[in-house]
Structure 1
Amino acid sequence: MEGFMNTLKGLNRRVRILIISIFICVVAALGFLGMYFHGIGATSSKSKQVVVEIPHGSSGTEVINILNKKGLINSQMMAKLYLKMNHFQFKSNTYLLNKNMNLKEQLTIIEKAPAQYISTVKFTVVDGQTVPDYASAIAKVTKLNEADILAKWEDKTYLKQLINKYWFLSDEILSNDIYFPLEGYLWPDTYQLTKSEMTIDGITQLMLQQTNKKLSPFKKQINSFTDGNHQYTIHQFLTLASIVQKESPSSKKDQQIIAGILINRLNKPMKLQCDTTVNYANQVTKIAVTYKDLNTDSKYNTYLYEGLPIGPICSLSPKTIQSLLNYQKNDYYFFFATKDSKTIYAKDYDEHQKNINENKWY
């Protein structure tokens, strides 16, 4: 640079001005090109699917605005400039784009509408639901048969393939006493399906990939989870978390206390005696369980069998996982939910019975 400046000093004033002007223009042009290519590049190097709906009759500017709102564009100005220099005829549809796609890839997909990027159906499953609920939701929006879905999810050869692929699945799900091996492992969410994904395996992989994504941030904590007396397997952790989910689906504070109560019972030891596990054993949903219900011989029935049930009883929310990981240590052994969804706690059976007699509503 010093040599360049010395050379300039040896030139007359007009030539110096011309050379400096050219230099500035070149630097500006290079800077603009850098901004331009960054502006039309991918917003992330990591894969993250984004559902984008392009309404009928959308203009190029409207398409750019939609993509920008979805976080798929680095610079609206550069994207609009690219659009002016290239011609596209956009087709309305619901597309499955990705944050690792650049602008050209996104616009080409919206123009050509290839089947693998078009969402044809979607289904929603929520935390607290069970595998039969999942199968029913999938069957309603696809041509898949509910019984076939459940059969696939019970096929031990198929399950072993999944166990080899996903860190959170283990041979514990292969027990003959388990009703639905993938219970608690299929993540609740809204799933957009393309034609290529509309198979039982395609949908299963899609949900397990979401489970992997959601559980991975807690992997180290779950793998090392202990209640002071017992080291839990992932399967046992998810089983206990599912009971907490069913017993208190909304309040994080109550979830943490109830998790502590269940751990107190496991450590005493005493039977968990959770009605939610009895309901699962009988495959029903109700508040008032009967003596007949309580006598159902199932490894899920925590009135008959000590310790945890043999597997999870529902799907989980991230909040419930966090609540169990951060359970509240306490001296309670009993809890009762009132009609207004308030939870009352008791340290012994007599106090618990008093709470029930004063607040029973069913």
Structure 2
Amino acid sequence: MIDSVKLNSISQNYGEVQALININLEIKDGEFFSLLGPSGSGKTTCLRIIAGFEPPNEGTVFLFNENVTTIPPYKRRVNTVFQDYALFPHMTVEHNVGYSLKIKGVSLEEYRKQVHEILHVVKLEGYTERKINQLSGGQKQRVALARALINKPKVLLLDEPLGALDLKLREQMQVELKSLQRQFNITFIYVTHDQQEALSMSDRIAVLNEGKIEQIGTPSEIYSSPNSSFVANFVGTSNIFDKSIAKEVFNIDSAFSIRPEKISLLINEADNQYSIDGKIIEKQFHGSFVKLIIETTFSKQLIVNLNQSNPNLSLGNEIKLGWSKEDIITLDK
């Protein structure tokens, strides 16, 4: 399968700040690919370089095997959806969506046909005459998507597009975005700091930290086999044991992590290969599970998620917890 986007040794500096450091990335045609990382990790800078909004200090950018490093944005078959949508407030939905067609000089018949078709796809039929300030956040998001997709880009770049929406609407739009990506069968490159968004929508994820790629993999690989303590902690919740505790308490030679849902209440010590004693210092109800904060005998707090079939537990209870060897995630760094 051909690469839709390829970044070779991309570096970007802003004065003394190194925003990107030797980024190498290959994104397949038709992939839903997420750039995931905290604020300042370089993910938006990476997106801007792919879009052509700024040239890299070092390295080359390829779109479908063509070197586009010095080619301006309007000559790349790439469109961008921004977090603030960048819609024209004085225009109607129709004029926002069809703006690029008007610039291209398409016929009125073709203009109306394409605008009608794309508004149907994003479920905004009947909204053609609405002004932007008459729309909800989710409707504005759909207008921005329609405006980007009407140009039939080969790659769609999305810069934290759901950040301004409430939780329920964000979850709904995640489903719709993935559905649109399948329908149009084009590459989506999605920037987010929200690990749940990245895990639920992506075919693959690149986790960025301080301008470097920490790990690239499928959502399952990133969650189940993080290759660093940063990835283990940033993607989901994890209990991390440094090398000294791992060796002293568990006789394990390297640092490791264990997910909260992999830790169980120990009734019979033979049930698990590793066990610890601790005291419940916090208890939180989360619907399908109970989250416990445990103070261990070796002065480390653990997060434990127990399902509702477990017996009632109270603050101050002394308990024994355990996990299996196969649930341990060994950390290389």
TM-score w.r.t. length of structure 2: 0.27
Higher RCO (Cα < 8 Å, 6 or more apart): 2
Identify the structure with the greater strand proportion: 2
TM-score w.r.t. length of structure 1: 0.26
